[in-house]
Amino acid sequence: MVYRRFLCIKDAVACINDKVDLIAVILNFSLPQTTRGTDYVCKLKIIDESHPEIPVHVFAQEIDHLPFVAAVGDIIHLSRVVMRIHEGDVYAIFNKKFSSFALYDGKDVENFQPYQVLLRYEARKHDAMIIAGLRKWLASSHVIDEPNFSLLEEINEVDLVNLVCKVRKKFRCVIRFVAVIPWRVEDFRSPDGVYRVKFTLEDPTARIHVYSYAEDGEKFFNGLSTGGLKRKLKELLGVPKSDDDGQEEIEGGARNPPWVQCCLKSHSIKRRRWIFDTKLVG
């Protein structure tokens, strides 16, 4: 297998079964998922000036070894990915044994330090020049029309921003639900019937508390019955179940909450955050 140090996407798609390095803009990305085995996978779509978008399938043994993209339009350096073709469609495979990556802000023209790297990643002298060129191209093009996702640490920073001019801000995040108060679904509503639930959310950057309240709570809990809400809450919190019928909980078992998309709003003066425009399905 040939290893080609750096190629634009146009040249890389002709190097089937070779290892290549790519630096490109992220057009889209999926939530982490488990494979049929014990690994995790996420999928990206990347683009550069030379070629339309191509998919990248990223495999990792640990979920923390997957790229956690802060926003569509950020830049990824993929090292030693393998180019493949299936039914005429070319894509790149990130191999957990030898591939690596680094993620860069797509808009910050001054910063050339990655905000996430895999341990075996090695930067090169001319990477900054390529990244600067991609940022310039991205700023003058209209290839990005996807909604951005925010990191929880960025939501925390909003409280420090001008309290007069920036009272409320909204975010779309990829997070996990790790705790809820009150625990009993029957206690989610106040005596006058208003939802008032506090969740703890996390992503790789931070852990925060958010509320599901009143009308936003009505939308989030989606009219589910008490039984249905109990079931969805256990799924959301990653409560383990037995392998027999999937109904019985495993007492003391390790929880593994799924990664989900969620919209949050933050009020700088009240210093609180709420779930909004988000709905539990099923």
Q: Can you list the domains of the chain with their CATH numbers? A: 3-140 (2.40.50.140), 152-275 (2.40.50.140)
Decide: pTM greater than 0.75.
no
On average, the pLDDT of the chain sits at: 84
pLDDT tens string 138-161: 888 877 765 556 667 666 654 433
| 105: Cβ contacts below 8 Å, ≥ 6 apart | 70, 74, 75, 111, 115
Confidence of residue 162 (pLDDT cuts 50, 70, 90): very low
Lowest mean pLDDT among 78-92, 149-163, 218-232: 149-163
Predicted pLDDT of residue 108: 77
Taking the mean position of all CA atoms in its chain, how far away is CA 166? Answer: 25
Taking the mean position of all CA atoms in its chain, how far away is CA 17? Answer: 28
pLDDT tens string 177-188: 999 999 899 999
Predicted pLDDT of residue 78: 95
User: In the predicted model, is pLDDT for residue 269 greater than 70?
Assistant: no
Cβ atoms of residues 244 and 16 within 8 Å:
no
